[in-house]
A and B are shown apart, each in its own frame.
Chain A
């Protein structure tokens, strides 16, 4: 009944769903470790999806589309950075504004492309390895986005923990006053971290509209940016935990679709709400266990240098 090919396909789609979340949450984790809470992830992601799709459709190149998506995400993140970092505006409100603007812009950019489709980003074929049953397509038959997300995670995990730049970034996030006193340009570092977050969210958007579901729909992110934000909390701001979290949520969102397909008499809307309910449950569990430990001490606090 359930043969290897089906299991393999299900696992592969879990990887695709998890990759979106992983890409976006890596970027947000870096921004938050530098002390800025950017609630604009959903907006930057959907702008990335729209711009990436438009650029890939126009140029015929998925690579150009991906680059355009990352640039678009970065540009939108600068709106947030300008408000929240340089004007010291409230970070929650600034992030919300970024998301609202992003949703609007993406709708405008994407409106000529409603109803069109693209050829999805191809799975990279590795001889022999990707022909293995089950493990083959899952581990070695993914598209470039999936591998990029793992590589990015490794780089970020290493960079934050083991490099000088990572140490400075964490210092800025823990105590911006102390970092400032040591001569580190707090706001510039935060801006760079937020820009990195924007590029990652844009990349996640590109993965969504160029690989995962290769078409444009104005609500295609469906709250994934918000789930990515929750994942950062869930990971207690540790990069490697993001991996587990992203795959857990990827699995929930894919498996509920398959359960809907079986038609067990469970309302499909209840199953569709599972990823959101799971996010709430995860937030509750993690905060009950840790009581906010692990959060950068200066997270969400605007920095205004007094000297």
Chain B
């Protein structure tokens, strides 16, 4: 049956909102099949996975705690992806930021330094992530190397670097030989927002970043040059926008925000440096960016949805003994569904008269 895709010039606004919802529904259907295949009652699994975490006040807070890094990283990635620069190494920039920021926490440990420590750590975290992100940007600008592969390779390098530090020079001498640093002092810990739970001030930073990014991307010349450089590079060049500056800029922003997410996580819910400080936030944030249609507010919502898959996955692991990989399958399916739904919004499927080949 000859079908063909036809590009639509005016995408109806309703489609832009409907597509992610359609993708969510599709993911849930796939999820039901998967639960059945695992020998679980799909309704009970859905309840454990997606409903119960929303009802309990503790997990409600956890939801926001987990969404915080996704939001920060995802908003940064939106800068890159809008500019058609493919930074897929946010996980490494997250680690780099956590390491550089933690350096200050460890250097001032036990010295009774003032309240400036935490803000300085956050700034260092941003700088660390930005520098790590600028490596693939530099290699792309200077040598034309694919930023996709170099940024991804640097994830492994960053993780191994962190592993070295917490097993070697930064290991807590009184830590019974566990591979982790000392627990940070109080002036190096994110303040909590409530007496119960782990909700910390990082979420305020994330929301401020979302608002700022919405303004920069939507209302400024910088945002316009990023967008234009991504969708029409030749036009951008004629307009006088420097392609190299855009590359450096978007990698610095996305690396920096990923680094900020890293140091917030370490100074917040974790409390010290450990060999593993992320359940794949840097990769999940890619999905958050896509699901949120590269719009900061959309990414905020998408981050909450993806955080739910983390929380639900943990709950299902404990109460139903389901492997945590269920969460990865959900996340992968969600990304596939959103990509497909996007196409169905941008294009119309037409049946073609007569013979035609693909």
Residues on A facing B (Cβ under 8 Å): 39, 79, 82-83, 86-90, 92-94, 96-108, 111, 183, 185-188, 218, 222-223, 226, 229-230, 233, 267, 269-270, 272-273, 276-277, 279-280, 283-284, 287-288, 291-292, 304-305, 307
Contacts and interface: CB of A to CB of B under 8 A. Distances in A.
Contacts of A86: 358
Contacts, number: 152
Contact of B148 (A92, A98, A104, A223): A92
A188 B356 CA distance: 13
Contact of B287 (A100, A106, A188, A277): A100
B44 to A, nearest CB: 18
A99 B34 CA distance: 18
B303 interface: no
Contacts of A288: 143-144
A104 B38 CA distance: 14
A104 B358 contact: no
Contact of B164 (A79, A83, A269): A269
Contacts of B211: none
A94 B342 CA distance: 12
B150 A283 contact: yes
Interface stretch (B48-56, B114-122, B213-221, B323-331): B323-331
Contacts of B329: 101, 104-105, 108
**A-B complex: 3 closest residue pairs judged by Cβ atoms:** A101-B332, A104-B328, A107-B325
A87 B335 contact: no
11 contacts: A98-B336, A104-B326, A104-B329, A104-B331, A105-B329, A107-B325, A223-B153, A233-B149, A269-B161, A276-B157, A305-B358
A87 B340 contact: yes
A135 B154 CA distance: 36
Contacts of A102: 332
Contacts of A104: 325-332
Contacts of B178: none
A83 B156 contact: no
Contacts of B324: 107
B8 interface: no
B285 to A, nearest CB: 12
B128 to A, nearest CB: 17
A83 B342 CA distance: 10
Please report whether the interface of chain A is mostly helix, strand, loop or mixed according to DSSP: helix
A88 to B, nearest CB: 6
A305 B323 contact: no
Given A100-B331, A100-B332, A88 B153 contact: no
A270 B330 CA distance: 34
A223 B335 contact: no
A87 B143 contact: no
A273 B149 contact: no
B25 interface: no
Contact of A279 (B4, B149, B325, B336): B149
B322 to A, nearest CB: 9
Contact of B160 (A111, A183, A269): A269
Contacts of B183: none
Contact of B88 (A96, A273, A280, A292): A96
A280 B151 CA distance: 9
A223 B149 CA distance: 11
Contact of B357 (A111, A185, A230): A185
A101 B5 contact: no
Contact of A83 (B163, B328, B340, B358): B340
B244 interface: no
B175 interface: no
A188 B333 CA distance: 24
A93 B23 CA distance: 15
B153 A83 contact: no
Nearest to A230: B149
Given A269-B160, A279-B153, A111 B323 contact: yes
B286 interface: yes
Nearest to B339: A89
Contacts of A107: 323-325, 328
A223 B339 CA distance: 24
B152 A94 contact: no
Contacts of B307: none
A242 to B, nearest CB: 16
Given A97-B336, A107-B325, A223 B156 contact: yes
Contacts of B157: 273, 276-277
B326 A273 contact: no
Nearest to A232: B149
Nearest to A99: B332
B86 interface: yes
A288 B150 CA distance: 14
Contact of B143 (A89, A103, A218, A287): A287
Contacts of A90: 339
B139 interface: yes
A185 B88 CA distance: 32
Contacts of A87: 5, 339-340, 343-344
